[in-house]
Amino acid sequence: MKKILVACGTGMSTSTMIAQRLQEYLSEQGINVTTSQCCLNEIPYNCSGMDLIVTSMKVDKDYGIPTLNGAPLLIGINDDALKQQIKTLLSQ
């Protein structure tokens, strides 16, 4: 099972929406995932053991784990490319 950390400004509503959309999409693709949520500033304390980090905004810090901007999942623009990128990363 793959693990995804989803982070936004407060670790609540935006990250919840992204996490739900990720779970729905990846379930359809046959990829089992669990998601955890946190605030952006809590990423360093929560990223251990994660396979992917998805944030609500661009993050420049390198956590040693693939980190993607999940904003397209919120607005539905260019989300197909992001979904494909996530699928590829988690299928490795």
Residue 8 designated active-site = yes
Please give the Cα distance from 28 to 49 (Å, whole number): 24
CB 12, CB 43: distance < 8 Å: no
- In 9-86 the beta strands, taken as DSSP E runs, fall at 33-39, 52-55, 67-69
Catalytic residues: 8
